[in-house]
Amino acid sequence: MKNFLRIACLAGMTLLPLDAKTLDIHFVDVEGGQATLIVTPRGESLLVDAGWPGFDGRDAKRIVEAAKKAGLKRIDYLAITHYHRDHVGGVEQLAAMFPVGTFVDHGPNTETGAAADELAASYNRAVAKGKHLVVKPGDRIPLKGAEVRVVVARGEQIASPLKGAGAPNPACAQAERKAADPTENARSLGFVLEYGKFRFLDLGDLTWNKEIDLVCPENRIGKIDVYLTTHHGMDASGPAGIVHALAPRVAIMNNGSKKGGAAPAWSVIRQSPGLEDLWQVHFAVAGGKESNVAEDMIANLDESTGFGLTVSAESNGSFKVTNSRNGKSKAYAAR
């Protein structure tokens, strides 16, 4: 062992602690925006979205704090799901505070107008300081230590099912469609992350019809262990046709106190076959205690705090969820 350490040091290798065997997913509180930091056992990182701009750099500071606690010195990949203020707005502030290696997106903003142009300009200033990777469905984000496969981007879906997926989806027969969504939400970049037998899904703010297209007539995703509720738990997304086909064991709702957490979304998730638990980043004021989950499974009970949730997964498919507000942790055995 001593000889190995000596050789590794001479070769300039980065050595991780011997017990660094979990893949960690940190759901950072950005007040109803989106920022999810993924750190692999090999020490590489993928940040998904960067929250809001302004607020004296509040969201960027929270992301940096989470990154430093995870032992990171830079963000290796920053994936932007789509060009809306609560997802891409904080990128420039973050990049000014903490190094970012590669910016990942679905291509240029598809929305126009003064606000859209301002967001695009801010994002482009940040991208100019790093590398840039445009992805399409089927592509991989080359994160070391986990496999990240893009399944939707710019309004398109993967053409073929992922390995082990592809079963007919009986819910498609009853799946109703809504009016077409012309916004960037429907063009969200979404991916499946696999670490051994563990599977995590993030579809950004993908909306109703595009979600149905992804799993109908066949489920091209398969079953998921942890599902980040699409679109903050709003009822413009998350139809039963996709949520029940995914059959997540655990759902994480990245809502704000006054954003997301819609009653119909709660109902769909709770009725999903095989669901063991739903955790929330915020207590949703409009839902009241009858709709929200138990308080010990909610990271923030009001807007004055900035706590988060963390999923720590092992390659055998087992994982645990921890609430940073109260230290509550629940383990989920491999299935």
In a domain, 143, yes or no: yes
What sign does the dihedral 218-221-223-226 (CA atoms) show? negative
Strands 319-323 vs 329-332: parallel, antiparallel or unpaired: antiparallel
pLDDT tens, 135-172? Answer: 999 999 999 999 999 999 999 999 999 999 999 999 99
Q: Which of 255, 235, 318, 313 is nearest to 27 (CA)?
A: 255
In a domain, 185, yes or no: yes
| Local confidence band at 72 (pLDDT 50, 70, 90 cut-offs) | very high
pLDDT tens, 5-53? Answer: 443 334 333 333 434 589 999 999 999 999 999 999 999 999 999 999 9
- This prediction has a pTM of 0.93
pLDDT at 7: 39
Which CATH number characterizes residue 156's domain? 3.60.15.10
In a domain, 8, yes or no: no
* Type and span of the H or E element at 156: strand 156-157
Q: Which of 272, 267, 232, 236 is nearest to 252 (CA)?
A: 232
pLDDT at 20: 55
Q: Are 257 and 284 in contact (CB under 8 A)?
A: yes
How far apart are the C-alpha atoms of 95 and 81, rounded to whole Å? 17
The count of domains in the chain is 1
Per the structure block, which two tokens stand in for 304?
A: 């004055």
In a domain, 251, yes or no: yes
In a domain, 7, yes or no: no
Residue span of the structural domain in which 212 resides: 18-332
In a domain, 271, yes or no: yes
> 277: exposed, middle or buried (C-beta count within 10 Å: 0-12, 13-18, 19+)?
middle
Residues in Cβ contact with 156 at an 8 Å cutoff, skipping those fewer than 6 apart: 136, 137
How far apart are the C-alpha atoms of 294 and 89, rounded to whole Å? 31
DSSP of 7-70, one letter per residue?
HHHHHTPPPPPTT---EEEEE---TTS--EEEE-TTS-EEEE----S-GGGHHHHHHHHHHHHT
